[in-house]
Structure 1
């Protein structure tokens, strides 16, 4: 039973069994004639993970150390029309993203739309886990997943109007677009509806193609290709894509064919070895959130720490972020 609406849009609840029997009888008798009353509502139609979201667009990204390309990209995001929020996950960078931005682009940190979360104690870059965190931290219904080196035009979101049952992406089959399939524009509910990226993939490649396929097959979404004039990848050597996963790379990170080889390895693992598809029945890595006010401006800083690692499918799933206290500052 909903007891009282709160100004923030939430409600106070009580269990039906705790209500006095005479009150229960009154509510039951009035059910048919008073369905419109707030205390008799059955609750929002959206899933629980969507109750607190607002309409609008969140740009979400995650990076590890490659701040030079990121700074150029993020300047294009803050200048683009229609952006309501920018969520950045700093994946254990040696020099924190916050400190690097403070040196060269302090105006970005002062943008009220900009939020940074830092994941601690990760030695290797794992895209699937990093971007699944990003999506869960987003507070808008539409999310544009961008790599840390993806720059967009000022009218990007005017050119790409997201419709229900649709998502935008790049075409990896086209040579000029081979590194742009990492950008995705979709509803947050659709991303979480397929449980995000397959966290069994912990090296570079095929994660975006796998996600796009599941969005079509499991959610029934239609694919729309990005206008290629509206986004581009900031120039950088290809070996940077493998730099933070050296121990698991099949070839030397500076091998010109390295990224392509890694993509094909992951493609074969997921499509040729009889592995069950990633989905609701698969549990990812659980992360816990701690918020500390450390900035001189009083803006909150966030830390995330992995608490449980699961390497394959189980019956449970990662539902969200729990509160957890840990020591250490960054």
Structure 2
């Protein structure tokens, strides 16, 4: 059923328009409206869409007030019906068409009320309704009853025009956006730039306005606690109004001839259904390809896509269940490939990435870039696929794309207020409340402020907890093994928190090495032909009782620090000590509580795990044989990880380990509260005036149950210990 709609507009002479001309005219008015971008805020009610430059909220049966530049307009209705009335009398659609045929004032009236010229589109719930917001899209309202509707931004394919839309989305990135936005506007063949501001602080509007670029449609999403690429870019593509979409990040630069240098094939959906499979090679899309990257910066172009809008939606766009960093691009590419589209490589001479490193991915709160990618890929394997523009997944699970509704701009944050105050101070004045709030206030017809009405559950929430935990643990292991050459033998029994600690420390060290290499190269991007600087580890296997373990540990920590290695400690409970490292110390080191590799077999383990090739081996527990030699020199082997096993200090260059260095490392360890309390009880007496004495007078056969001193220390050493113990 179609809605009944009436209008109130200035009185104009009326002229009949024949039906054929009416269709042409409606199309012309739609196009003119898209160009004018004459809308912004919202008027709210449960029965229909959202309309207007300024509006207050409606409720109950769906009434709301809006001003579109020529007087108050009221929409009333309940459930799925709505109509518009005003103070100057009622006008039908045909009447408005007659007005527009005779004067510009009538055209302005229709531009403000595009809804009367549009076929109704299904809304959410039981209602129907469709309203254009400033050419940014159609808002399907709906829902029965008296509650507020949720709305879904969408420009139907029937209204998509030939041309190219740049679609970008970001949370913050103000500086890079200010640089690249004018470049995007200068690209030949680009008709519009759709920019999604995903809750940047402060909002991006001032940054956009300062560039003077007029092609921008800016969508501000309020209330988002973190960056979600899949949702942000689906929203942006939904708001695009041209049949070709260039999806880029806010730190990508493109050359003016980018579009002409990448002629897009026909959309797959445009090919005859009967011959689509046979003619699939006629369809295709361009994408970034990290395998074709010539340097580290070009690796980050993997997310760039130039594609027909219809093909993007034919496979469902981005999977919005992916709400953490990684695999969103590859998942989309996999679905496009399965649909039969040809993959074409972007010309990296026409697009570039502004370097900022993985550390700047803090806009998404990412700690472990590679781990997140593997994790999302593993979780998707457990879930039904994401298919079709309806957002309905196969199998038992049903997932919907996010829906949005108009929102009031959030009050300025502390950061925004501080920035406004600093600006005012620099100008010699005081920051007023209106000035401080300016960044959050919508001004102009190409700016829309919205918020999420519904969001799909993310991958972890949709996956059974044991499966998700196992996937995270495996993803951590993959990064440690594949990126940093940590053998699987070490990782198989390591808990996820330990893996996170080790990975964090390796990444910090890697960043230091990369920075040093860049400085040595004068800041130039590293060619991919050069290997990435790889941090190494000192795998320190401490043995025997607490005193022996601590002297070995202090020496290992010194050696690791001075040689630029990351310490990885093996501290197993045994007959000598039943306390774990964590029972004694709070200092966060990467510590293995169990160790499965056996000496000397581990020296040949590279046969089945190549990560062991990066290790050299030193074992001071000479009774284990297999080449173990107590006291042998341990050199700082370049580009090698070191395995050291012992109850003693490492014999090495004194610049790497010494009495002073080792003691400094031990003093830096923080004891757990229980141990600290015992120490503090004596500290008041003055530890500098004390000396620790360890007296043992038990014979070896009565000392430690389960320990063979001949086996662990050798018969000669055991005889010496026995002699002096008996003498005491």
**Same fold per superposition (TM over 0.5):** yes
8 A Cα contact 1:291 1:301, kept in partner: no
Shift in Å at residue 265 of structure 1? 1.7
From the two aligned structures, give the one with the greater strand fraction.
Answer: 1
C-alpha RMSD over aligned residues = 2.7
TM-score (norm 2): 0.34
Q: When the two structures are aligned, how many residues end up with a matched partner?
A: 258
TM-score (norm 1): 0.72
Question: Aligned pair 1:265/2:384, yes or no?
Answer: no
Question: Aligned pair 1:221/2:341, yes or no?
Answer: yes
Question: Aligned pair 1:190/2:301, yes or no?
Answer: no
* Deviations 1:209-235 (CA, angstroms, capped at 9, x unpaired): 1101101113x2111000111101012
In structure 2, relative to structure 1, the CA distance for the partners of 1:291 and 1:299 (3 Å cut) is farther
* Deviations 1:224-280 (CA, angstroms, capped at 9, x unpaired): 000111101012132122x1343xx4xxx3xxxx3222222222222xx33222112
8 A Cα contact 1:57 1:141, kept in partner: yes
8 A Cα contact 1:81 1:156, kept in partner: yes
In structure 2, relative to structure 1, the CA distance for the partners of 1:269 and 1:178 (3 Å cut) is farther
* Deviations 1:95-150 (CA, angstroms, capped at 9, x unpaired): 11111233xx3422xx1x21101000001000000000000000101000001111
Question: Aligned pair 1:172/2:290, yes or no?
Answer: yes
In structure 2, relative to structure 1, the CA distance for the partners of 1:223 and 1:267 (3 Å cut) is same
Aligned equivalent of 1:7, options 25, 31, 47: 25
SS across alignment from 1:269 = helix
How many angstroms apart in 2 are the aligned matches of 1:215 and 1:274? 20
Aligned equivalent of 2:194, options 87, 90, 93: 87
From the two aligned structures, give the one with the greater helix fraction.
Answer: 2
* Deviations 1:26-74 (CA, angstroms, capped at 9, x unpaired): xxxxxxxxxxxxxxxxxxxxxx821111100000011101111122222
Question: Aligned pair 1:288/2:306, yes or no?
Answer: no
Aligned equivalent of 1:274, options 346, 359, 382: 382
Question: Aligned pair 1:311/2:457, yes or no?
Answer: yes
Question: Aligned pair 1:62/2:169, yes or no?
Answer: yes
* Deviations 1:159-217 (CA, angstroms, capped at 9, x unpaired): 10001121000113345342111100001111111111011111111111110110111
How many angstroms apart in 1 are the aligned matches of 2:442 and 2:451? 20
Structure of higher RCO (CA pairs closer than 8 Å, 6+ residues apart): 1
| Structure label with greater radius of gyration | 2
Give ranges in structure 2 of 5+ residues lacking alignment: 1-18, 30-154, 267-282, 393-398, 410-440, 460-728
How many angstroms apart in 2 are the aligned matches of 1:174 and 1:267? 22
In structure 2, relative to structure 1, the CA distance for the partners of 1:300 and 1:157 (3 Å cut) is closer
8 A Cα contact 1:89 1:119, kept in partner: yes
Q: Which residue of 2 aligns with 1:136?
A: 238
